[in-house]
Amino acid sequence: MLSELEGKSKAPFGGAVGMDLDAIYETVDLVYQSVERPEKLATALGAVARLVGIEHVVLLAVAGDGERRVIGEGHGDPAGGARALETTPSGSHRVMPSTRTIPLSGGYELVLGAAELSPPALAGLLRVTPHLSRALRLADRIAAHGPATVHSTLALDRLSLGVVLLGSDGCVLASNRAARSIVSSSALIEMRESRVAPTQAVQRTLFETMVEHVLAPATQHRRLAGGQLELHAPGRATVHVIVVPYFGKVEHGEAACAVLLSSPGAAAGPEELFAQRYHLSPAEARVATLLVAGRDPVAALPEIAPQIVRGHQERVFAKLGSTRQGDLVRLLLRPPGVLFEGASGA
């Protein structure tokens, strides 16, 4: 069953009559949000239940000895079936009759409170379940690096890289000392009225488009990585800008976007940090930065043979233990990810 799910998931979301694409986009987005926010898992599983029109969905972790532990559960349509599990007097869990169990990779199972699904519901499940498998693998890798942290402004100030965190409305929630220093010493970018943007009109438009892509709702093909800009002006030091999704919280709210600022000759930028932390070559670090910025390295580096760029990209994924660009972004940028190492304390 899992191989069937993984194979069919490679097709575009569309294609099956009756599939609710908006519901699929929303469900997949919630699944990936639960990676960094475990409290969202019940919401994500509830979205899965609603997508397939059933009342109850349970996620189980299967130990090596076969013991099953409930990781989370979600509720959807009360008229769409029965409970998937019951708790016995001894405290163990028993799968109820008329359920359907779907094995996921990494030792997980998804138990549905219904044995049969309609063709549109099954088609939707075929698109969502592989993403749930990947999200669980990613959550396990992230957990191995320690829990996520709510960053204080003082902690962010210890970073050498300029960081400006934006909320879901695009307003500035926090900025660190390095970012404020770059803004104050350069006429190329400014922060005014809770907004940050380049001062030049064309670059401002490009920047705002990148931020909009990061903050786009789930119905617009989920969040996209923002992009990369270089700000130039005669007599001024170049400012490198990368706009990326952000998976963490700060004192003043939940951030959804990070603007990373660096200048040549100043503090280490993302490429240097990636190279140091993950033992990447300069070429591999450059490719990693392009991937984080949501760009296609082959298209962004036309002066290098495509097969060489793809080789660098394969080595980046191998060294970081990731197979998807979205996973790589989360691994590198999550607090306390490589760009935020040393900022986890008060």
Considering only CA atoms, which of 70, 72, 97 is closest in space to residue 82?
97
Q: Which of 215, 234, 129, 216 is nearest to 166 (CA)?
A: 215
Element (H, E) at 132: helix 119-144
**pLDDT 10s digits, 55-102:** 888 898 887 666 778 888 888 877 656 666 666 555 555 566 678 888
What is the mean predicted confidence (pLDDT) over 98-108? 83
- Pick 285 or 264 by higher pLDDT: 285
pTM over 0.95? The answer is no
| CB of 291 closer than 8 Å to CB of 309 | no
Give all domains of the chain, ordered by start, each with its CATH number: 2-144 (3.30.450), 150-340 (no CATH)
Q: Residue 51: how many CA atoms within 13 Å on its side-chain side?
A: 29
Is the omega angle on the peptide bond into residue 336 within 30 degrees of 0, that is, cis? yes
Name 230's bridge partners: 240
